[in-house]
Amino acid sequence: MTHTLDFAIVAPSGFATDSSAVDRAASLLTARGHRVHVDPTARTRWQRFAANDDERLAAIARVAARDEVDVAVMVRGGYGFTRLLDRIDFEAIAASGQRWMGHSDFTAFQLAGLARAGLVTYAGPHAAYDFGAATPSAFTLEHCFGVLEHDEWSIECALDGPSLHTAGTLWGGNLAMVAHLVGTPYFPQVDGGILFVEDVAEHPYRIERMLYQLHHAGVLARQRAVLLGAFTEYQLNANDAGYDLDAAIAQLRAHAKVAIYTGLPFGHVADKLTLPVGGHADLDAREGRARLTLSDYR
């Protein structure tokens, strides 16, 4: 049964490159029986951002203050949250009971919220590129609303890695943002967790370097499993000479003392899961298949 939700579409990072996508997102959500509030930042631009820092910060506070809002969904990623982290009242947002959703640059908000206030957020669709796509992904919609409308949600997918049954706090997001926050007060200290990461337009050696940063910082060793999502939009060149993403992953598997899996349906791709950052995950992986059960996120 579909539950009616109040959505706020807001842009605390990059600007909408296609304003009609915001209209399509609002129409899709409305057609599914939900109510939609579109924040002014969803249609403005300042430099490479949706608005200047003060205006984007005000937009976050404005949405958080709306009692009727159930879900705040980001227009897109890009860049911008890093400039705001020390000015966001994460405790007030956590107390509001709202659910905040997005991915990419939004990872900075997610990890900072988890670190500063135990805030559970949702790594999932954006308004512009997912809800507002010319042909939205049925897979993405199924899993997004499955998580939003249920207290527990199970996923079955192909994951390449060792057989393992484990459980822990689910956390992570965009790899560049995860690595970027190491050593700051906005990096959550998660022990015995299940870390998931993805990225876009990052060459395999840079992906390996960021994973090594997490390895050398002791982050990977404290996890029960690492789930690698999609790494897209990069191009190998002559200097690589056979060094590709598979080689980078093999290198990490040989040195990091944690189970590493590939194939998680998440990232800068059309078909993506919705994953509660700070929620609980039970992972049961067997012979290339896995069942991921999500709970404790509401």
Question: Is 198 a residue of the active site?
Answer: yes
Catalytic site residue from 13, 104, 126, 280: 104
Estimate the crossing angle of helix 204-216 against helix 245-255, to 10 degrees: 20
The active-site residue, picked from 180, 198, 202, 203, is 198
Residue 238: which residues within 8 A CB-CB, separation 6 or more?
none
Catalytic residue among 103, 180, 203, 268: 268
**C-beta separation of 261 from 298 below 8 A:** no
* Residue 80 · residue 101 · CB < 8 Å: no
Query: What separation, in Å, do the N-terminal and C-terminal C-alpha atoms of the chain show?
Result: 18
- Give catalytic status of residue 104 as yes or no: yes
d(CA 5, CA 71): 7
Q: What tokens were used for 240? A: 């690589």
**Tokens 């067997």 found at:** 286
Dmax (CA) for the chain in angstroms is 56
Rounded Cα distance between 39 and 55, Å, is: 11
C-alpha to C-alpha distance for 187 and 184, rounded to whole angstroms: 6
Of 183, 208, 189, 184, which Cα lies nearest the Cα of 197? Answer: 208
**Catalytic positions:** 104, 198, 268
